[in-house]
Structure 1
Amino acid sequence: MSRLRRGGRAPDPMAGFRDGKEQEPAVPQGLIKAARKSGQLNLSGRGLTDVPVSVWRINLDTPEEAHQNVAFGGADRWWEQTDLSKLILASNKLQSLSEDIRLLPALVVLDIHDNQVTSLPRAIGELSGLQKLNLSHNKIKELPAELANLQSLKSLLIQHNQLEEIPDALGRLGSLDQLDVSNNQLKTISSCIGGLSCLVRLNLSHNRLKTLPAEIGQLKNVKQLDCTSNLLESVPSSLGGMDSLEQLYLRQNKLTDLPELSCKLLKELHVGNNQINTLGPQHLKHLCSISVLELRDNKLKSLPEEITLLQGLERLDLTNNDLGGLPNALGNLPNLKSLQLDGNPLRGLRRDLLSKGTQELLKYLRSRIQAPEVKTGQDAAPVVTAMTLPSDALVSMHSVTTLKTLEYCDKQAPVIPEAVFNAVGTNPITAVNFSKNLLTEVPARIVEWKDALCDVNLGFNRIPEVSLSLCMLLKLTHLDMRNNILMSLPAEMEALTRLQSVILSFNRFKTFPDVLYRIPSLESILISSNQISSIDPLQLQKMSKLSTLDLQNNDLLQIPPALGNCESLRALHLEGNPFRNPRAAILAKGTAAVLEYLRSRIPT
């Protein structure tokens, strides 16, 4: 007769012997056994409310297999176990960690993110070899001073907790290169932060900071500083002493003036959503390397003519300000590729002109610049005669000699005349603009300027492939080949180890070009409006400098959750693809929200 009743369960032989409490999920012995061999133990997503004692004592207790396997030729060589170096306890229900953590002195990585931990044991300071500590997404209100003993620590992630202050002792972490204390309740930052001499990335965003300490200027190695969403009304002038600073985020604060910065390597300055009402020459004169300037949602009424000081500027966002007009000099910025002006009461510009895009607008502004008056007498300009070289009439020699820029664009020419190349002579050229022609190949003679050329614009032509001559421009940092008929890129482009930005929008790519994954210097990839159906998030994660990725209007049917682990991304554009998730409401919240959503979908 069956032991099962109809519609019921088999009787429990242990009924009456339990104490009524639900047993906590156990750690399988197979995992413990494997961890002894590999030195790594992943217990994420197991519903743990406490860490089993067997985990803390994994280096000390004699394993069970020692009593079973006494044959020295056996496969399980339990006596050769490795001390635990990596412990992942993420996404559980832990409220605390035991002082027994000191029994794992060989730990290099400890990850307890996404738990309910409110405090840390003092014994954590005894993990002298710890290099990465992830405490994010918990309920920690204060940090123990013993953290200062972790002299090998390189990465400390404490975002999304309840910290109100950072202990002064943290300033003694001399090896730390990444510190993230975003999304806490910090009102001040101690001057001790000046002691973090190796710091490269510092995230202070989404706190309640009203000021920054002057000692922040002592962080000579910081490349990325994020102070988004605080209460800052100004920043200390000492910020100019951050000699390595490349990216500065001051969005969503209470700034009324653009900071006067002398950071000569600064490439991106984001100060949107503030109350900035003036922009003068003093704010621009030191921004010699700036390529991205974001000033959206402020109260600017005008731009100075000195905007032309920003010769390397590529993206200028002035959305939602009070601009009534634009200086004509703006048209002379040689590298400006994106100018955003929506939400301004511009009176001197026709609406249809604004809708034609950045290049048409810049061309219009250049056309409004009046030519200098003809002088007479001794100051008169040389008279053009029949002996004037024909090549001089084809290009602006002023641009060639002064700006080191060669322009032969918007000519609808099928080839670049030899006279254009000849006109350059021995002058070094750093920028070339051959856009808006009818070119069917990259001009071979472009390689003549390989010793200095760093910016090439071949957009709006009919080029079907990138030639090897272009791959010989080893100093190239910016490449614009939008609106061509490219379907692939040559593997030889891997040699362009200085390439920072590439624009490949409006071509015919069906797959994401593999060679781009192998150019770690890339910071910006714009490849919208193609036919790309998939991307490799694991390869993108290796591109540690990639901050902007535009994949709009492609054929992506799904967005891999692992893309959320691309921590360097600051601008991710996915609109116009046929995927279902993330939904439009999440995309509208911005890059940070999209990446967090993707991370939440990574299987554990």
Structure 2
Amino acid sequence: MNSDQNQKSNQYQKQDQNEPKQTSGVIINLQNETEVQNYCQQVKNGEIQSTSVQLNKNIKILNLSEQYLQIFDEQILSQLQLLEKLNLSSNQLTKMPDSLNKMQRLKVLDIRFNLINSINGMQYLIGLQRLNLIGNQISNIDCLANLVGLKTLFISQNKISNIDCLENLVGLQDLFINENQISNIDCLANLVGLQKLLINENQISNIDCLENLVGLQDLFIYENQISNIDCLANLVGLKKLLINDNEISNIDCLANLVGLQKLLINDNKISNIDCLANLVGLEYLDVSGNYISNIDCLANLVGLQTLLISKNKISNIDCLENLVGLQTLLISQNKISNIDCLENLVALQTLFINDNKISNIDCLENLVGLQNLEASGNQISNIDCLENLVGLQTLLISQNKISNIDCLENLVGLQNLEASGNQISNIDCLENLVGLQTLLISQNKISNIDCLENLVGLQKLEASGNQISNIDCLANLVDLKNLKQAEIKYLTQTVQQIWLVYKNFQQARTKYLTQTALKIWLVYKNLKQAEIKYLTQTVQQIWLVYKNFQQARTKYLTQTAEIWLFFFVCWLVFFVP
């Protein structure tokens, strides 16, 4: 094509973008993927009128994803008979392009995340090897029965209940049919080439058909109604097995699956896990949310990097002392009182020991790699052992018996600190923790918070239930999004305690006033849209929160403020419709 022809064929691109371009009688030549993308987008936006196009018939790959297309220009596909890969994902298509049915050389088709409810005609795409239909509104897939060349099929997140049409697709290697309405998977019995099978989040109760799928490496069957998994005993090639959130009580069949690297059996009805003793290849194990009391079988699983055993009946964890490769350990909500065995687990980065019966955590002093420590809901009184854990980013120690937190003064990497429900009276040690974004210190014995004035990065602060009388230091904390630290809780009918937050109230609004409401939040200084929520006839609580108040000033707040607020509340409850 000479330069004059090129200039003529592309002249639509040079016209005024504010008016539809007149292309009547002009054939637009599209030579590559980029030009096709631009053309489709300009037609969609009304920048040019749909007209005759002539395409380079040698185009083999076309990506039109995320173009917000509702209708596809049929003449484009009708000319691309050599196309091998087509991506129409993340658009707003409601039907398959009719011209797609003639593209017998197509190998890869991606139409995920559209609004398609029918795929009739797809039976003609006999060359397909990879098909992605995730996130549509498809209920019937019978037309796929003859696509015996398929190796990868993604049909997750649809409305499919019957998959019998898949029984002859023996070439399938990866099959994703999760998040549908499937209850019967017997048709999968002959798909012995499967390597990855995702059937999670359906209505499946029987998986006996899987017993001969010895090539499986990844099997996801979580969130179903499965109670028996004996059929898995021979699937020795499994590397990832996710069977959590079912009704399983016996897992003895897993004893020989020595190739397992990741196993999730959490939230079932399991009480005995002795069969896991020989699974030395495990790197990730989640057995939380069961009825387990003994975990001695884990002693030799030295390859474990992540171990989740929360929400069980465990009281002794001494068997963990040699698992020096652990990076994440969650033992929350058990009956554990002694954690001395953790002292040598120096690779730990995340440790959750909350809601147990632990009183001593001195063994943590050498775990300098810790980044996240959750120790709330125990009986801890001394945390001096934390002073050298300078890598800590999140520290949760609420609901304990802690009175002194001076050891935290050097933990300058802290971003989140929760220490509510303790016996803390002095927080001066926090003044240099300028990286703090969240600070929860409610229900303590704190009277002075001046040390917070330089913590300009704070986004969330809660300090209710203390003895604080002056909050001037908070004036410069401009990043605070909702100042729950200025809350006043537990006010009764006698209005025993009222905090009047002051200075430039503007645009105060009361919202959600109902007879069942429980709270009033008054926000001060730079807090837009102060809300009054949840008032009740007993006025159980009043929360005063501050920041950015515009247009609406409080005047004449005097020593009679208690009486004024009482009458104001009565007026709101009885007279405001």
Normalising by the residue count of structure 2, what TM-score does the alignment of the two structures yield? 0.49
**Which structure has the highest helix share of the two?**
1
